[in-house]
């Protein structure tokens, strides 16, 4: 599932390419990705509007349009926003034709992603469900410590809770906890303030490094031009179960007991 670095990559690509572009038409091929599903009429009303900005919030790409609406695209497992190029039309759900002749597609093999058309009230309601961004300079070490230490749930679960912290998913929760030397199943309330500060530094480090390499691709993630991300080769925990820990040499363990997602950790150096 695309997480913060992947959706940030897409948003940056599209912002540079689409600012000022005018929507000539919108074609709905698979209405089941729309939220609500009756949003086809709202999409039709976007014809002639101008894209003013493309940015990321949590794991979603936000396309701001004149005068005040926004498209919120949440790719989930196999969704992709592709600009021009060749897409498999069997999996194209939406086509956005631009006045300059270019074409933006929402492509989704499993159709688990969503596209919502939100007015300012709807957008505010959606955003109110999300926690702070981990890369936001206003997220202090003290506030982050309160997020982690204020819960008795597993620290990995807290990191992935979008209501508490927006944008972090399974890949980067695994990586940040390995870097910080914290056991994923440790209760948030048991982690010291000093260790939560180290965790925030580790989380920000891995997110920035992944953004610089345009995200992590195992199978499905593609950027706006259909290219793969390059961070998979840099992963130190996720996807390496059964291999040697790069820090101490012990065999990395794996479980699916936390939220049903794969957790990889080193029992020797993550305490």
Beta-bridge mates of residue 154: 187
Angstrom distance (rounded) from CA 24 to CA 8: 26
DSSP 250: P
Q: What angle do CA 255, 129, 183 make, to 5 degrees?
A: 25
Q: Which residues contact 25 (CB under 8 A, 6 or more apart)?
A: 47, 96, 97
Full DSSP string of 151-204: --SBHHHHHH-TTTSSS--HHHHHHHHHHHT--TTSBGGGS-HHHHHHHHHHHH
SS3 228: coil
Angstrom distance (rounded) from CA 52 to CA 69: 10
Is residue 223 within 8 A of residue 9, CB to CB? The reply is yes
| Active site positions, annotated | 2-3, 59, 261
């Amino acid at each position: 599932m695309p997480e913060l670095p992947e959706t940030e990559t897409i948003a940056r690509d599209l912002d540079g390419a689409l600012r000022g572009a005018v929507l000539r038409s919108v074609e709905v091929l698979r209405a089941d990705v729309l939220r609500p599903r009756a949003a086809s009429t709202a999409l039709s009303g976007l014809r002639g509007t101008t894209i003013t900005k493309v940015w990321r919030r949590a794991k979603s790409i936000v396309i701001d349009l004149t005068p005040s609406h926004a498209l919120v695209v949440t790719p989930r497992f196999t969704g992709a926003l592709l600009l021009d190029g060749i897409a498999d039309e069997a999996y194209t759900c939406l086509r956005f034709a631009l006045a300059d002749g270019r074409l933006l597609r929402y492509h989704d093999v499993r159709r688990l992603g969503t596209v919502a058309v939100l007015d300012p009230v709807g957008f505010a309601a959606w955003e109110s469900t999300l926690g702070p961004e981990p890369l936001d300079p206003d997220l202090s070490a003290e506030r982050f410590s309160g997020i982690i230490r204020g819960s008795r749930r597993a620290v990995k679960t807290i990191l992935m809770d979008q209501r508490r912290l927006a944008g972090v998913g399974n890949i980067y929760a695994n990586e940040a906890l390995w870097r910080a030397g914290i056991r994923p199943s440790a209760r948030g309330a048991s982690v010291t303030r000093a260790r939560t500060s180290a965790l925030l530094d580790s989380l920000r480090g891995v997110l920035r490094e992944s953004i610089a390499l345009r995200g992590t691709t195992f199978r499905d993630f593609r950027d706006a031009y259909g290219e793969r991300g390059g961070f998979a080769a840099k992963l130190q925990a996720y996807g390496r179960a059964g291999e040697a820990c790069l820090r101490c040499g012990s065999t990395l363990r794996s479980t699916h007991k936390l939220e049903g997602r794969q957790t990889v950790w080193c029992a020797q150096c993550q305490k």
